[in-house]
Amino acid sequence: SAVISQKPSRDICQRGTSLTIQCQVDSQVTMMFWYRQQPGQSLTLIATANQGSEATYESGFVIDKFPISRPNLTFSTLTVSNMSPEDSSIYLCSVSGTGLYEQYFGPGTRLTVT
Amino acid sequence: AQSVTQPDIHITVSEGASLELRCNYSYGATPYLFWYVQSPGQGLQLLLKYFSGDTLVQGIKGFEAEFKRSQSSFNLRKPSVHWSDAAEYFCAVGRGSGSARQLTFGSGTQLTVLP
């Protein structure tokens, strides 16, 4: 399975600011995904990021709030813009595995907005 | 639409006891099913998966799951729980096709293991 790293692992940010989260994988992958996990909740897909195309956002998530870059097959970033306390969550990236629908996850970025 | 239900929010078992975590899915065709585990402060780790074939699948850490089409279930089991199994467990189903392939997750079951 792929080895995935995320930076930063955690951060405390002030409202109104933006944070960019990096996701690096040790092998080339076609599909990368960004999820939000609010406190005590399950995972909610924010967007799918395929290299060479614009990210596809899920209902309730917009590019202005969560811009995503996917410059190559091993790297992606998610920016959380104009943050509010409601953005306090764990943000996880994942990558497509060898099996259909299979995904491998990074360790997550724990974001607290004050 | 595909969905996953995990009826048990929280389960407590004693160390050494057996474990069964329930997962029910809603899907028209043969589903692609997964169980993931999330330890505190960690990302998700894939425990096992079912695509087709043998309905009893073996995973890592001594876990197994059984696919029952008649019951739309994919329950996770372990014969003897260890304290290190305390974590949150998520069932997921694959949906979509091509570049729109993705996973839908259940709400999760928190497992507490008593000494």
Query: For the segment B30-42, what is each residue's pLDDT rounded down to a tens digit?
Result: 789 999 999 988 8
Read off the pLDDT of each residue in A95-112 and give the average, rounded to a whole number: 91
Beta-carbon neighbour count of residue A42 at 10 Å? 19
Model pLDDT for residues A27-63, shown as the tens digit of each residue: 999 899 999 999 888 999 999 998 878 899 999 999 9
Q: Which CATH number fits the domain B3-114, given the four candidates 2.60.40.10, 1.10.274.100, 2.40.10.220, 3.40.50.1220?
A: 2.60.40.10
DSSP A9: S
Tell whether the model's pLDDT for residue A13 goes beyond 80: yes
* Domain ranges (residues) in chain B: 3-114
**Confidence (pLDDT) at B2:** 75
Name the B residues in 71-110 with CB < 8 Å from any A CB: 90, 94-95, 99-103, 105-108
- Do residue B94 and residue A105 have CB atoms under 8 angstroms apart? no
Closest CA to A71 of A47, A56, A57, A50: A50
Q: Are B24 and B5 in contact (CB under 8 A)?
A: yes
Measured between its terminal Cα atoms, the distance across chain B in Å is 41
Rg of chain A (C-alpha set): 13
Model pLDDT for residues B44-88, shown as the tens digit of each residue: 999 999 988 889 999 999 999 999 999 999 999 999 999 999 999
- Domain annotation for chain A: domains and CATH numbers: 4-113 (2.60.40.10)
Q: Are A59 and A76 in contact (CB under 8 A)?
A: no
